[in-house]
Amino acid sequence: MRRAAALLFSTLAAKPKPKPSLRYLTRLLTGAPSLHRPPRPTLFPICPFRSVQTVPDAAPAPLPSPRRRRRKDELADLEETFESASTTDDILAAFRSLEASLDPADKRLGLACLKVGQHLDSIGSEDHEEVLRFGLRALNILDADGGSRISVAMALHMAGSASYNLKRFNDSLGFLNRANRIISSLEADGSGCEFDVRPVSHAVQLQLANVMTAMGRREEALANLRRCLDLKVSILEPNSRELGIAHRDLAEAYAAVLNFKEALPLCWKALEIHLSQLGQNSVEVAHDRRLLGVIYTGLEEHEKALEQNQLSQKIMKSWGMGGPDLLHAEIDAANIHIALGKYDEAINTLRGVVQQTDKESVTRVLVFISMAKTLCNQKKFPDAKRCLEVSRGILEKKESQSPAQVADAYMEISTLYESMNDFETAMSLLKTTLAMVEKIPQEQHVEGNVSAKIGWLLLLTGKVTQAIPYLESAAERMKESFGPKHFGVGYIYNNLGAAYMEMDRPQSAAQMFAIAKDIMDVSLGPHHADSIQTCQSLANAYSAMGSYTLALEFQQQVVDAWGSHGSSAKDELKEAARLLEELKKKAFGKLSEVFQEALSLDSLPSKNDSVASKDTQH
């Protein structure tokens, strides 16, 4: 994300800078960067600060005294020295001199604080507290007495960025949300400044996306990233290389949350731009094609995935590119071969890759995990476990260094142990993973996924009451990260329904299945196999409750849905139709019982009949 922002701001410069800055926004205050600069560069722009007047027009002021002229010239020299300073030491020294000559509430001092803070941030200073101090000082000065709204937004952005680096995410969100409101109002009314606010807006949106991701709110982060792309489309040249990268970055963000349908057209757009601008053998095209391979794998279109992966590798090899990019592309290819059932090809690819990896590297871990996956599919479980033991040995040494990366690997390893029915080892790994990711706010989505897997394994091994808290926690975490209609949330509610059915609580189960069905119908479609199965579970729950009218309604939906699959779902349709007939018999039997009971009640003598009979006897 930082790279994407740097590319954006570099395109706005009139001529190349030695180090294009990600957040060096003060330069934008001088207007469009292509405008001619005056001989003496200055931080303090014509718009909006120097043109601000706080008193009505008056008669021309008398000429200043020689002493005042000297002071004004000295201050101008200090400003020029500050503006021309380029190294950190020079900037700080010039700032101290300028600070001593200005009133503490002078707007120019606020802008100077803004420049120093942005410089420290742009060079990657580790002293985030100092950056924050400059940001807050700039904010206090510029925000007083109705200061320029855009300069206030810049100060808020800097304070938000520093707070993010200090992991004070709530503070960061507060600063950035206010900056966003200011910019939105400027965009809405088109007033307040003569220059383009879109680059500032982009910087704020990008930082908001970082904060949302860090807080585990990935669905909201995607909305910010989408806004970033819209801004870049409006700013950058059509079909520029940077615009292609922007589309690919957003595609990658969608793929990271498993939303491959949204990712696919974005990645194709990136490829289209890069092909037209750079040709079919460019490095950017290689990166686009590799991501397309990942996306097609997620969509289970493995032949297309393999085609894109091979094209990507071909370009990288033609450029002599080695290292992690090519190795990961080869591992991707091996995993696609596994998905296609081409196990020999996968093994051969992995053997070639493992010889190019360091013995303690994470890349080597990925190779052995893929090797174990192949062996699991071939039912060679002892060999698969040996590969996983090698992987775990490397990962254990990296738990403190790269907890998020290790957690992802542990999850994949646990899945392989589960496939070999080694539930105890799978559970142990998942609990280790959960303890790791609970300490990392930005891994909340992983925490939800791990809790869901633990709940599923407990359910699978008959520990139903222990499973429910994990599944409930997983549902909340996943909703916060991906939104309430994500298909992963649907699967968790489906498992909760299964747990309640095992506990003989069909009413609670029906509630969970109904929620799961609503989510899956939206996210997967009502005719997806998993959506149909959830509908079947809902029919079963209503049947167990004796609510045959509702059970028949949902069972009919199951029959219709399998019927839409044609001959490929012949067996499923046959079973669904059998269950429908069975339900009809149960419903008819229930109706007969009710009817018989009503008849028997009608045949009983009423109280009036009894009195009349007695009267007759008398």
The pLDDT value given to residue 35: 26
- 540-580 pLDDT per residue, tens: 999 999 999 999 999 999 999 999 999 999 999 999 999 99
pLDDT at 6 over 80: no
- Helix, strand, coil % (nearest 5) of the chain? 75, 0, 25
Cβ neighbours for 16, distance < 8 A, ≥ 6 positions apart: 10
- Stretch among 25-39, 96-110, 477-491 having the lowest mean pLDDT: 25-39
Asked if the model's pLDDT at residue 438 lies above 50, the reply is yes
Report residue 515's pLDDT band, with 50, 70 and 90 as the boundaries.
very high
User: What is the C-alpha separation between 352 and 350, in angstroms, rounded?
Assistant: 5
pLDDT of residue 186: 87
Token match 């949902």: residue?
A: 554
Residue 229: inside a domain, yes or no?
A: yes
Q: How many CB atoms lie within 10 A of CB 604?
A: 7
Asked if residue 486 belongs to a domain, the reply is: no
Q: Is the pLDDT of residue 235 over 70?
A: yes
CA 309/CA 307 separation, integer angstroms: 5
* CA–CA dist 521, 515 (Å, integer): 10
Other beta carbons less than 10 A from residue 343's beta carbon = 17
Domain boundaries, position 197: 1-30+103-235
pLDDT class of 509 with cuts at 50, 70, 90: very high
Q: What ranges in 19-127 are assigned the alpha helix state H?
A: 66-84, 88-101, 107-122
Query: What mean pLDDT do residues 31-51 have?
Result: 31
Question: At a CB cut-off of 8 Å and minimum separation 6, what does 15 contact?
Answer: none
More confident residue, 601 or 582: 582
Buried b (16+ CB within 10 A) or exposed e, 278-289: eeeebebbbbbb
| 278 assigned to some structural domain | no
Measured CA to CA in angstroms, residue 382 lies from 386, 395, 426 at distances of 6, 20, 15
In tens, the pLDDT along 526-545 reads 999 999 999 999 999 999 99
Q: Note the pLDDT tens digit of each residue in 138-187.
A: 999 999 876 678 899 999 999 999 999 998 999 999 999 999 999 998 88
Place of tokens 């002021």: 61
d(CA 365, CA 7): 33
pTM of the full structure: 0.74
Min mean pLDDT across 214-218, 292-296, 406-410 is at 214-218
- pLDDT confidence of 43, banded at 50, 70, 90? very low
pLDDT band for 606, please (50, 70, 90 cuts).
low
Check pLDDT > 50 for residue 49: no
pLDDT at position 348 is: 94
Which has the minimum average pLDDT: 38-52, 53-67, 248-262, 279-293? 38-52
Mean pLDDT of 273-293: 95
Note the pLDDT of residue 510: 96
Q: Is residue 90 part of a domain?
A: no
- Evaluate if residue 325 carries a pLDDT over 70: yes
Residue 434 placed within a domain: no
Supply the DSSP string of 437-482, one letter for each residue.
Answer: HTT-GGGHHHHHHHHHHHHHHHHHTT-HHHHHHHHHHHHHHHHHHH
579-596 per-position pLDDT tens digit: 999 998 888 876 555 555
Mean pLDDT of the chain: 83
Tell me which residue of 228, 271, 284 sits closest to 253, measured CA to CA: 228
Per-residue pLDDT at 285 exceeds 90: yes
| pLDDT, average across residues 237-263 | 93
Distance of CA 208 to the CA centre of its chain: 12
What percent of the chain is modeled with pLDDT above 90?
Answer: 61
Find the CATH number of the domain harbouring 224. 1.25.40.10
Model confidence at 603, in pLDDT bands (50, 70, 90)?
low
How many helices (H) does the chain have, and how many strands (E)? 27, 0
Is residue 71 a part of any domain in this protein?
no
Examine residue 269 and state whether it is found in any structural domain, yes or no.
Answer: no
Whether 571 is covered by a domain: the verdict is no
How many domains are there within the chain?
Answer: 1
Average pLDDT over residues 468-492: 91
Which region holds residue 300: left if phi is over 0, alpha if psi is between -120 and 50, else beta? left
pLDDT at 50 over 80: no
**What is each CA distance from 398 to 215, 391, 392, 412, in whole angstroms?**
24, 11, 10, 16
